[in-house]
Amino acid sequence: MKKAIVVGATSGIGRQLAILLADNNYHVGITGRRAELLAELQELKPGKFKPSAFDVTDTTAIPQHLAKLTAELGGLDLLIISSGTGDLNPSLDPGIENETNAVNVLGFTTVADWAFNFFEKQGSGHLTAITSIAGMRGGRHAPAYNASKAYQINYLQALRQKATNLKLPIFVTDARPGFVDTPMAKGDGRFWVATPQKAALQIYKAIESNRKVVYITKRWRLIAFIIKHLPGFLYNRM
Ligand SMILES: NC(=O)c1ccc[n+]([C@@H]2O[C@H](COP(=O)([O-])OP(=O)(O)OC[C@H]3O[C@@H](n4cnc5c(N)ncnc54)[C@H](OP(=O)(O)O)[C@@H]3O)[C@@H](O)[C@H]2O)c1
């Protein structure tokens, strides 16, 4: 039986990924701050999940939590980072921005580094993170969200390069959703909204085939291309 940890499994895409992994012969470590939601997930599929409630902004405690959970699972083949936050911030409140940075930058980095170092020592493994189309370019509605997702995309690229240089079979999958119907999807004008189930299935398939980058759903690749290549004088008016 393979072993996986989903960081941010209490809700949305992470929760669906945890269920999908459990249905596909994985023993799954599930994390998030809300212990009651982890317990609910455990009740749904008894014997499939090991819970560990912790906050990724408490970065000094992360290595301990992940090491303990890995020991309880009896090893680790795959770690998925689905924890994330972000809020619309029209008044540029630095409190909102730095709350986003604490989860999406500091928490993300600490989890990703722990996973990569574990896989390097082990000689193999797979790290996946749910980034976002928002990481393609800056965005005025939630500046820290876009910037933190760009950071994640860039960081994953660095880890992929590191794995190649180490000549180790460590895979890094960057899953970039457009809109998915979860509490995270905020703002008006949403379109091409995927269900969390559909998003999780496409991410799972990308992991299984060791994909480097995957757009969720596939047609968001087109939007990513447009956002990236739109001339500045047009983009800045949006
Ligand atoms: N939904 C979309 O349209 C969309 C689009 C592009 C990218 N994404 C990305 O997809 C990922 C998953 O989001 P989602 O849409 O599934 O949203 P969600 O349902 O709100 O799930 C977010 C998860 O992150 C965890 N989390 C948040 N802050 C945390 C903290 N401080 N410590 C530990 N865990 C924390 C939450 O757990 P607790 O609250 O229990 O701690 C929850 O399990 C995020 O990285 C998001 O940026 C989402």
Per-residue pLDDT tens over the stretch 39-85: 999 999 999 999 999 999 999 999 999 999 999 999 999 999 999 99
Residue identifier of the C-alpha nearest atom 32 of ligand 1: 55
Above pLDDT 90, what percent of the chain?
A: 97
User: How far, in Å, CA of 214 to CA of 48, rounded?
Assistant: 27
For range 211-220, the mean pLDDT: 97
Q: Would you state the pLDDT for residue 176?
A: 98
* Residue 8 near ligand 1, beta carbon < 6 Å: yes
Residue identifier of the C-alpha nearest atom 26 of ligand 1: 83
Cα–ligand 1 centroid distance for 86 (angstroms): 9
* Residue 55 near ligand 1, beta carbon < 6 Å: yes
What tens digit of pLDDT does each residue of 99-152 get? 999 999 999 999 999 999 999 999 999 999 999 999 999 999 999 999 999 999
173 token code pair: 């999958």
Model confidence at 188, pLDDT cuts 50, 70, 90, reads: confident
- Give bridge partners of residue 64 from the DSSP assignment: none
Model confidence at 27, pLDDT cuts 50, 70, 90, reads: very high
What residue numbers bound the domain in which 89 lies? 2-235
Q: For the chain, how far is it from start to end, CA to CA, in angstroms?
A: 49
User: How far, in Å, CA of 38 to CA of 114, rounded?
Assistant: 22
Q: Would you state the pLDDT for residue 48?
A: 98
* Residue 187 near ligand 1, beta carbon < 6 Å: no
The pTM (predicted TM-score) of the whole model is: 0.98
Residue identifier of the C-alpha nearest atom 8 of ligand 1: 132
Q: Would you state the pLDDT for residue 184?
A: 87
In ligand 1, which atom is closest to the CA atom of 190?
A: 3
User: How far, in Å, CA of 227 to CA of 235, rounded?
Assistant: 8
Cα–ligand 1 centroid distance for 165 (angstroms): 31
Residue identifier of the C-alpha nearest atom 18 of ligand 1: 12
Structural domains in the chain (count): 1
Cβ atoms within 10 A of the Cβ of 221, count?
Answer: 16
What pairing do the DSSP bridges indicate for beta strands 179-180 and 193-194?
A: parallel
CATH of the domain at 176: 3.40.50.720
User: How far, in Å, CA of 7 to CA of 28, rounded?
Assistant: 10
